[in-house]
Amino acid sequence: MGDTTKEVPVFNKRNLVMMFCQMAFGLSFYGVMIVLTPFFLEELQYSEADTLMVIGAFGAVGTLFSIAGGVIGDRLLGAYRSLVVGYVAFTLGYVLLLISAVSINVALSLMGIALASYGRGLMSPNYPTLFQTTFSSQQDFEKVYPINYSVNNFGAFVGQYVFPFLTLIIAYKGNFMLAAIMAGLSVLSLIVLRKPLVAGADDIDKTPVPLNNWLKFALLSMAMLAVVFYMFSDMDKGQYIVYAISAAAIGYFIKLMLASTARSTALRMGTILIMILLTVAFFVYYGQMMTSMTLVAINTMRGDLFGIIPIQPEGSMVMNPLWCAVAGPVIAFITNRLEKRNIFISTATKVGFSFILTTIAFAIMTAALLNIGEDVVLRPEVFLLVHFFQAFAEVIVGSLVVAYILSVAPKAISSFSVSLFMVAMAFSGIVGAVLSTYIALDKDTQLTQAIAVDSYGGFFMALTVFAFLLTVVAFVSSRVIRKMLNAADEWDKQHPQADTDPTA
């Protein structure tokens, strides 16, 4: 008899629907983020420094609470249910922002972004965990995940470009309503496709949730929301909560690593720890797009892109998802072509290349600011070029590091391990936001050429120098990781019956 095995296609209705949800998340979350800066500055009358901290935290805090989302997905509800609840939280958060825009209510605004941050905490670790189960192999998942990242960035591009213009037509409340609709459609899509998604998911998603688990989930959710709301209400003190939770999460991971009876498991978990530290360093730079770069754009960027494409200064960050949407397929294509020629580049080495790209991006920003004219104006093309290099770096780190973690992490703590990546984003986001406040100006200060050169230019020059040093660190780390993985494989060969579960 011939081979009757039927090859399962890479794309199917399960992962396509999930990619729609990812696009809707990108459109709603980043669309809202792009208008929050002028909303807080103009409507809520926040200072530049306070606004930078809130926006930086909004981009980062949700990823911090993915550690709780990972625990919820692994131990309490499962990835599918956690994802549905996460999108419900997005919907409710945007509804609260809508109401706050009508009534100009600071407390409702903070609660709205707290709910959205909570939803992101649930979504971030559980989306890749569930998305992975929609593919027939790890190889197919790794091939498509960069494309999925581009789909997210396509949604972010649409949201970040359109929302500033919609503000002129339907005001902030219209933007928040559109975001709520997109999040609501995601909830509906996940519910409609529940059976096939659950059928391929892990066992915890296929069994009823005990009442005790629902109670633990409710208590944990209330605690998360209370902490997030407090952080947004007082960022000066709230930032230390981020530092403490980040340290506790990494400390727990190290404890599991040291407690592992299998040396190979400890070595592989050690490589994850190194990658997490590199991720922290990278996302300090990533966070500048939402804080310092956006502030510089609002104060200096004037004119249409190439003289024909209108763009709002607060919408300059739209150039990032534009290039990310391009970068995903390009990186996937280059990787596939290299592998066909038996050229395999490790994820850690690719992260080293991402720091090279980041160094170039910040060097361009530095040069533009140090040579800014007396009119204190930068053309949009400068930001387009900066975001080109930074976007390719982001896609490498944002998509490939998660895939790497899933490939080496023990299955029992896979969601928690992924959540460490999100914790790294949160920690570095807050650090990046704190750093960006060094260029914040008082409300009555007039931006001059001297201030732009000394304050803005000096700030980005310092970041460029440190990016170059981190490039060296990343490539050294790549060699260390390769040796650790080789040692882990050798240990497995010598101990084929060893238990590799670190939680056992």
Torsion over CA: 230, 232, 234, 238 (sign): positive
Name the pLDDT band for 358 (thresholds 50, 70, 90): very high
Name the pLDDT band for 8 (thresholds 50, 70, 90): very low
- Tens of pLDDT along 151-175? 877 888 888 888 888 887 888 888 8
Report DSSP state, residue 189: H
d(CA 104, CA 6): 58
d(CA 347, CA 211): 41
DSSP string of 428-479, one letter each residue: HHHHHHHHHGGG---TTPPP-HHHIIIIIIHHHHHHHHHHHHHHHHHHHHHH
If DSSP codes are grouped into helix, strand and coil, which group holds residue 12? coil
What residues does 378 pair with on adjacent strands? 301
If DSSP codes are grouped into helix, strand and coil, which group holds residue 301? strand
Name the pLDDT band for 3 (thresholds 50, 70, 90): very low
d(CA 419, CA 65): 8
Higher pLDDT, 181 or 246: 181
Per-residue pLDDT for 137 more than 70? yes
Q: Can you point out the beta strands (E) in 132-270?
A: none
Q: Is 348 exposed, middle or buried (0-12, 13-18, 19+ CB in 10 A)?
A: buried
Per-residue pLDDT for 469 more than 90? yes
pLDDT at 503: 55
Name the pLDDT band for 498 (thresholds 50, 70, 90): low
Written out in words, the top-level CATH class of the domain with range 13-494 is: mainly alpha
pTM of the model as a whole = 0.75
Block residue for tokens 């659950």:
198
pLDDT at 4: 43
- Tens of pLDDT along 105-126? 888 988 998 899 889 888 887 8
Q: What b/e string do you get for 394-419 counting C-beta neighbours within 10 Å, with b at 16 or more?
A: bbbbbbbbbbbbbebbbeebbbbbbb
Can you give the residue ranges of every domain in the chain? 13-494
Residue 28 and residue 183 in contact, taking contact as beta carbons nearer than 8 Å? yes
Residues contacting residue 129 through CB under 8 Å, at least 6 positions apart: 73, 79, 202, 406, 414, 415, 418
- Tens of pLDDT along 254-266? 998 888 888 888 8
d(CA 188, CA 87): 10
d(CA 2, CA 159): 51
